[in-house]
């Protein structure tokens, strides 16, 4: 299995880097554009994409003089054309247009579409051998093996943009693979870290969206509150760095200052620290293999004073344990885990299920999937996409009974 390089194979960075940002109007997109804005002489924007936010996309396209922009919603093409009138920016709409954006000849692509919808465009960037900064963890959770294999075959460089994985990427450069004993991913614990199980069960959307440290998109913020996000990250780390589930630990660290650590055979633990601001890992990806000037506040440890750590509580946050179960089961189980979670989060946002039912729907979908004999080796990304679709259908079918059941 292929993994990202542990030691940086340093190559000279050329003058101007052409970049595309998939999911430019989202939270990661916003942080990426902020960094690009700070160094206009270093970057040329090739393509930008959004789902439905035509106004935001057109504004960015004009500001950065992008060559091509695309919205996923096919019904918004005429609106996009009108918003770009008087410019020579080419545009498209629909899923194919998002893939086309990824296929355009940018050296560096930020993959920051939310959810499994980001898989096909990210694969398109991978297949042409680009440097792909990967924020969209669902790509790896759905189809990690094929994603990493296709990257290796095409000579693409996957740069982990998720803060924990970027921390591991940096710390791993301190040793060799055979010297590594385990990696440790930190988790803030989210807004419900200290809540009783009964209160977590009844948590509202507004409460779930109040993350103590990070400002992020809606889906990942809810995933952080359920700790499903940490589960997705365990799976992501497994594919990125070719690690077994036993080599990946999670520790709750409420201050979110240490993002990831690597323990080596001599018991040295190498950590990466920084203010909880996604612009730091994105800057690392954007500059790689060099370093650029960051935009996050400098870390002031004396002001922070105390860093604390706790073991994760699988009873109150069962979604994290389910991720390990899915990883061990293999054969498409992580794809099912992700698909069921996306259905559950959408149902929670629509107030169809309680917060506590998110993990129950994921568990029930995984169990039903296994009971039905559906676990089977996947042979390509299209297999993973088919599992994703079928698992969504199964989760949607199970939703009414999960919604009706008391905890
Ligand atoms: P947001 O919801 O803030 O933004 C998502 C972006 O993707 C928007 O540009 C949105 O367009 C676009 N989009 C949504 N659905 C589709 C679709 N079906 N097809 C094409 N484009 C679509 O998400 P985040 O920026 O928070 O997260 C993006 C990814 O990065 C996720 O996978 C997340 O897990 C990961 N990530 C995020 C972190 C963060 O701090 N936010 C940290 C680490 C990882 P529109 O604006 O039109 O809706």
CATH 3.40.50.720 location in the chain: 17-162
319 is in an annotated binding site: no
Q: What single DSSP character describes residue 153?
A: H
Segment among 8-17, 117-126, 264-273 with least mean pLDDT: 8-17
Give the mean model confidence (pLDDT) for residues 156-167: 98
Closest-lying ligand 1 atom to the alpha carbon of residue 25? 9
Exposure string over 184-196, b if 16+ CB within 10 A, otherwise e: bbbbbbbbbbebe
Bridge partners for 132 per DSSP: 109, 158
Q: Is 120 helix (H, G, I), strand (E, B) or coil?
A: helix
Cβ-proximal residues to 147 (8 Å cutoff; 6+ apart), any chain: 119, 122, 123, 126, 139, 140, 239, 381
In this predicted structure, what is the pLDDT of residue 177?
A: 94
278 Cβ closer than 6 Å to some ligand 1 atom: yes
How many helices (H) and strands (E) the chain has is answered by 17, 11
DSSP E strand boundaries for 140-247 = 157-160, 180-187
- Testing ligand 1's pocket by substitution, the residue of 20, 21, 26 carrying the most ligand atoms inside 8 A of its CB is 26
97 lines ligand 1 (CB under 6 A): no
Q: Which atom of ligand 1 is nearest to the CA of 162?
A: 43
pLDDT in tens, 259-285: 999 999 999 999 999 999 999 999 999
Q: In this structure, what are the phi and psi dihedrals at residue 182, rounded to the nearest 5 degrees?
A: -165, 165
pLDDT greater than 60 at residue 127: yes
| Amino acid 369: pLDDT | 98
State if residue 342 touches ligand 1 by the CB under 6 angstroms criterion: no
Which protein residue's CA is at the shortest distance from atom 43 of ligand 1? 162
Q: What is the pLDDT of residues 186-238, one digit of tens each?
A: 999 999 999 999 999 999 999 999 999 989 999 999 999 999 999 999 999 99
Is the predicted pLDDT of residue 378 greater than 80, yes or no? Answer: yes
Which atom of ligand 1 is least distant from the CA of 163? Answer: 43
Architecture of the structural domain at 313-407 = Orthogonal Bundle (1.10)
Mean pLDDT for the stretch of residues 52-62? 98
With a cut of 60, say whether residue 56 has pLDDT above it.
Answer: yes
**High-pLDDT (> 70) share of the chain, %:** 96
pLDDT for 2 beyond 70: no
Give the residue, by CA position, lying nearest to ligand 1 atom 23: 217
Distance (Å, rounded) from C-alpha 280 to C-alpha 277? 6
The atom number, within ligand 1, closest to the CA of 23 reads 9
* Contact call for residues 338 and 147 (beta carbons, < 8 A): no
Q: Is the pLDDT of residue 385 over 50?
A: yes
Q: Is 79 in the pocket of ligand 1 (CB under 6 A)?
A: no
23 lines ligand 1 (CB under 6 A): yes
Q: What angle do the packed helices 357-371 and 333-349 form, to 10 degrees?
A: 140
**Tokens encoding 23:** 């999911």
Report the distance separating Cα 66 and Cα 71, nearest Å: 14
Decide: 213 in ligand 1 pocket, CB within 6 A.
Answer: no
Return the residue whose CA atom lies nearest to atom 48 of ligand 1: 51
Ligand 1 atom nearest the C-alpha of 98 is 20
Q: Cβ(121) to ligand 1 under 6 A? A: no
pLDDT band at 12 (very low <50, low <70, confident <90, very high): very low
Question: Tell me, what's the pLDDT at 9?
Answer: 45
Q: What is the pLDDT of residue 8?
A: 46
Instruction: Report the pLDDT averaged over residues 356-381.
Output: 97
| Predicted local distance difference test score (pLDDT) of residue 370 | 97
User: Contact at 8 Å (CB) between 241 and 4?
Assistant: yes
**Residue 11 pLDDT class (50, 70, 90 cuts):** very low
Whole-number pLDDT of residue 4: 67
**Residue partners of 367: CB distance under 8 A and separation at least 6:** none
**In the block, which residue shows the tokens 């990070």?**
214
**CB-CB contact of 316 with 263 (8 Å):** no
Whole-number Å distance, alpha carbon 22 to ligand 1 midpoint, is 9
- Spatial contact of 318 and 226, defined as CB atoms under 8 Å apart: no
Mean pLDDT in the chain?
95
Instruction: Judge if the beta carbon of residue 346 lies within 6 A of ligand 1.
Output: no
pLDDT at 405: 82
Instruction: Specify the CATH number of the domain 17-162.
Output: 3.40.50.720
Lowest mean pLDDT among 7-11, 21-25, 328-332, 355-359: 7-11
* pLDDT band of 243, cuts 50, 70, 90: very high
pLDDT number for residue 75? 98
Q: Which residues contact 270 (CB under 8 A, 6 or more apart)?
A: 171, 174, 175, 261, 262, 264
Query: Residue with the nearest Cα to atom 21 of ligand 1?
Result: 51
What does the pLDDT read at residue 14? 55
CA angle, corner 280, sides to 15 and 172, nearest 5? 90
The C-alpha torsion from 110 through 114 and 117 to 121, rounded to 10°, is: -10
Predicted TM-score (pTM) above 0.85: yes
368 is in an annotated binding site: no
The verdict on the CB of residue 186 being under 6 Å from ligand 1 is no
Q: Is the CB of 26 under 6 A from ligand 1?
A: yes
With bands split at pLDDT 50, 70 and 90, how would you rate the model's confidence at 15?
A: confident
Q: Is the pLDDT of residue 5 over 70?
A: no
Q: What separation in Å is there between the alpha carbon of 27 and the centre of ligand 1?
A: 7
Residue ranges of the chain that CATH labels 1.10.1740.10:
313-407
Is the backbone peptide bond immediately before 75 cis, with ω within 30 degrees of 0?
Answer: no
Measure the CA–CA gap between 17 and 252, rounded to whole angstroms. Answer: 37
The predicted-structure confidence for 293-341, as pLDDT tens digits, reads as follows: 999 999 999 999 999 999 999 999 999 999 999 999 999 999 999 999 9
């Amino acid at each position: 299995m292929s993994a990202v390089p542990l030691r940086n194979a340093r190559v000279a960075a050329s003058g101007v880097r052409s970049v595309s940002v998939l999911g430019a109007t989202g939270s990661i997109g916003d942080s990426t554009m902020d960094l690009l804005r700070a160094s206009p002489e270093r970057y040329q924007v090739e393509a930008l994409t959004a789902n439905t936010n035509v106004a935001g996309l057109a504004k960015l396209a004009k500001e950065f003089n992008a060559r091509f922009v695309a919205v996923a919603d096919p019904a918004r093409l005429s609106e996009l054309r009108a918003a770009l009138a008087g410019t020579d920016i080419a545009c498209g709409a629909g899923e194919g247009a998002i893939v086309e954006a990824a296929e355009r000849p940018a050296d560096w692509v930020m993959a920051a579409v939310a959810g499994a919808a980001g898989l096909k465009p990210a694969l398109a960037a991978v297949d042409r051998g680009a440097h792909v900064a990967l924020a969209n963890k669902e790509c790896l959770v759905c189809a990690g093996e094929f994603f990493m294999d296709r990257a290796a075959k095409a000579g693409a460089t996957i740069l982990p943009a998720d803060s924990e994985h970027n921390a591991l990427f940096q710390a791993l450069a301190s040793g060799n693979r055979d010297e590594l004993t385990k990696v440790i991913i930190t988790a803030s614990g989210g807004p419900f870290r200290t809540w009783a199980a009964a209160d977590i069960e009844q948590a509202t959307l507004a409460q779930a969206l109040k993350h103590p440290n990070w400002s992020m998109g809606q889906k990942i913020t809810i995933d952080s509150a359920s700790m499903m996000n940490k589960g997705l990250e365990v799976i992501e780390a497994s594919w990125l760095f070719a690690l077994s589930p036993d080599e990946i630990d999670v520790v709750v660290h409420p201050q979110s200052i240490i993002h990831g650590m690597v323990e080596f055979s001599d018991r040295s633990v190498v950590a990466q620290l920084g203010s909880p601001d996604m612009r730091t890992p994105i800057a690392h990806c954007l500059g790689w293999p060099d370093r650029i000037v960051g935009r996050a506040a400098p870390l002031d440890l004396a002001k922070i004073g105390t860093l604390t750590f706790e073991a994760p509580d699988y009873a109150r946050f069962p979604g994290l344990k389910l991720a390990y179960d899915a990883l061990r089961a293999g054969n498409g189980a992580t794809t099912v885990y992700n698909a069921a979670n996306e259905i559950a989060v959408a149902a929670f946002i629509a107030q169809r299920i309680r917060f506590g039912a998110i993990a129950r729907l994921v568990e029930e979908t995984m169990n039903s999937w296994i009971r039905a004999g559906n676990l089977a080796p996947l042979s390509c990304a299209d297999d993973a996409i088919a599992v994703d679709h079928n698992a969504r259908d199964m989760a949607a079918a199970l939703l009414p009974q999960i919604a009706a059941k008391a905890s």
